[in-house]
Amino acid sequence: MRKLHICINRIEKVEKLYMAPSESMPEVTLSHEDNVFRISGISRPENIRKIYEPIVQWLTDYKNILINDDSIYSEDNPFILQLDLVYFNSSTAKFLYDIVMILKSIKEEGIPTTINWFYDPEDPDCREAGEDLAILAEIDFVYIERHE
């Protein structure tokens, strides 16, 4: 019982990461407390590292907590990352690959993990970008049509 208590306390202490969207920056919400892990909008920031390095670090830290403690995720309640980018540049694509690789490593540790890739059905390039990323990372995505 004590180990579970410690696990819950460590996970509950994970700080939420939120970045407000702008014309060139996506909205980012990584929140264990709210069970929301989402990157959405447009991503073509001038300083790509300023945006994506904190995301990569947050996910890496969260992964280490999940791996070192009993996971709260199950097949019925997987860890879900939602990628809902309307547009992203090639610099963003590199960081998306890094993010997806972190999720892949979480899944390889036996923690149920899902990546939802949202796309506009009228923009075949958006879905194809997700498919290419999934192939490169050797992980399955769930493709969801975005309806506006």
- Residue 56: per-residue pLDDT: 97
Which CATH fold would you assign to the domain 2-145?
Answer: Transcription Regulator spoIIAA (3.30.750)
Q: Are strands 142-145 and 36-43 parallel, antiparallel or unpaired?
A: unpaired
- Residue 126: per-residue pLDDT: 93
Pairwise CA distance, residues 136 & 100, whole Å = 10
- Residue 103: per-residue pLDDT: 97
Of 61, 56, 52, nearest to 32 (Cα)?
61
**pLDDT tens by residue, 98-127:** 999 999 999 999 999 999 999 999 998 999
pTM: 0.89
Domain boundaries, the chain: 2-145
Mean pLDDT (the chain, rounded): 90
